[in-house]
Structure formats: structure tokens, C-alpha cells
Amino acid sequence: MPDPRSLDVTDYVRTTARFLELPLSDAQVERVAEHLARTRELVSALRATPLLPEDELAEIFQPAPFPAQDPT
């Protein structure tokens, strides 16, 4: 018997593909569902990991201000 969670993912992929009018074969649906299920497992593992503010490695992006005048 297939894992019920994988059926949920497969149903989601089929429904989303229909909504986007994206023709997918059964094999393509299964491959997309497999990758999406794997991503869901990764997210679950990340959510279960407690992170403190000092664990954040990436800085917050701040675009440089436009120069007051053309530098040339």
C-alpha cells in the first residue's frame, strides 16, 4: 500500500498541473511528486532544528543607494 502522504503530494501535483494547464504524463507527475515530497521532508527537518539569531549566516540584503549625481 502506498504511503498516504505520497498520495497527497501526487494529488497536489496533478491538481496544480491542471490549474496551470501544464500537461504532465503520469511518469512526470510521479517524478515531480517525489522531489516535492523530499523537499517537504527537508523543510520538516529544518523546522525541527532550533536556531538562534546568532546561527543566521546570511546578512540582510540592503541595496546601495542611488548616487546623488552621475559619477562621470
pLDDT tens digits for range 34-59: 999 999 999 999 899 888 878 877 77
Statement: residue 60 has pLDDT above 60: yes
Q: How many residues does the chain have?
A: 72
Domains in the chain: how many in total?
1
Statement: residue 63 has pLDDT above 90: no
Task: With respect to residue 57, please indicate whether it lies within any of the assigned structural domains.
Answer: no
The residue-averaged pLDDT of 19-26 equals: 96
Domain coverage including residue 35: 4-45
Task: With respect to residue 62, please indicate whether it lies within any of the assigned structural domains.
Answer: no
Question: Three-state SS for 22?
Answer: coil
Residue 29: closest CA among 45, 11, 44 = 11
Statement: residue 2 has pLDDT above 70: no
Per 3-state DSSP, the chain is made up of helix, strand and coil in percentages (nearest 5) of: 60, 0, 40
| pTM given for the model | 0.61
